[in-house]
Structure 1
Amino acid sequence: MSRAVSVDPDHLREQATELDWLSRRHVSERLDSSGLGTGWARGSFEEFSAYWFSGTSVLADNLSTLAAALRRAAETADRRDADDAKALRGNPRAF
């Protein structure tokens, strides 16, 4: 027995766009320590920023990978839907 599966390709594409935005935001926004006061505070902040940036770089790459997978899933769903519709067209006994 098979289960019905419902896929919304437009929603998948929207989510992929959101993930791309998050990924790009990481690259464009660097932390600024210029207004932190003492040199010690700035140094600590910059050390943390370097550590944080490398970790979030991995996350940004993974978000881009997930966005690409969502787009492929949307394309596959559209293609399968079109193929099924084509196969069923003109076949009154398809069901």
Structure 2
Amino acid sequence: MGTKVEVDTEQLRANAQSLHEANAERRRSSPVAGRLGARRSTGAFEQFDGYWHPALATMTESIDALSEALGTAADVYEQRDAKSAEGFAGGALRAV
């Protein structure tokens, strides 16, 4: 018989939900126009945002994918466990 494997599917789902919530839509920041130094800070912010926004989008997509994968893994483990249990129950019934 193989090695015993235990998977806490509730923990997988909780972690998936936590990632989903942490990855909620973010508010985009920008300097406030009309404030002292706003023109210079707006230019610097726009330059930074040009680099940051694509990276943030990639990170957001990756976190979404990980969250979905954790939920799917929990479902698959439970389905596999149910099929294994049916197999054992089926074998026991045939032996009777």
Show the counterpart of 1:46.
46
Show the counterpart of 1:86.
86
How many residues of Structure 1 are paired with residues of Structure 2 in the alignment? 91
What is the alpha-carbon distance in structure 1 between the residues aligned to residue 32 and residue 51 of structure 2? 18
What is the alpha-carbon distance in structure 1 between the residues aligned to residue 72 and residue 57 of structure 2? 23
What is the alpha-carbon distance in structure 1 between the residues aligned to residue 85 and residue 2 of structure 2? 19
- Indicate how the Cα distance of structure 1 residues 21 and 50 shifts in structure 2: closer, same or farther if over 3 A, else same: farther
What is the alpha-carbon distance in structure 1 between the residues aligned to residue 78 and residue 69 of structure 2? 14
Point out where structure 2 has 5 or more consecutive residues left out of the alignment: none
Q: Is residue 22–residue 60 contact of structure 1 (8 Å, CA) maintained in 2?
A: no
- The range that moved more, 83-92 or 55-64, is 83-92
Q: Is residue 16–residue 68 contact of structure 2 (8 Å, CA) maintained in 1?
A: yes
Q: Is residue 30–residue 42 contact of structure 2 (8 Å, CA) maintained in 1?
A: no
Given candidates 16, 28, 31, the residue that maps to 1:30 is 28
What is the alpha-carbon distance in structure 2 between the residues aligned to residue 37 and residue 5 of structure 1? 61
Shift of 1:89: 2.5
Q: Is residue 23–residue 64 contact of structure 1 (8 Å, CA) maintained in 2?
A: yes
Q: What TM-score comes out, normalization by structure 1 length?
A: 0.79
Q: What TM-score comes out, normalization by structure 2 length?
A: 0.78
Pair member with larger Rg: 2
Show the counterpart of 1:77.
77
What is the alpha-carbon distance in structure 1 between the residues aligned to residue 50 and residue 16 of structure 2? 27
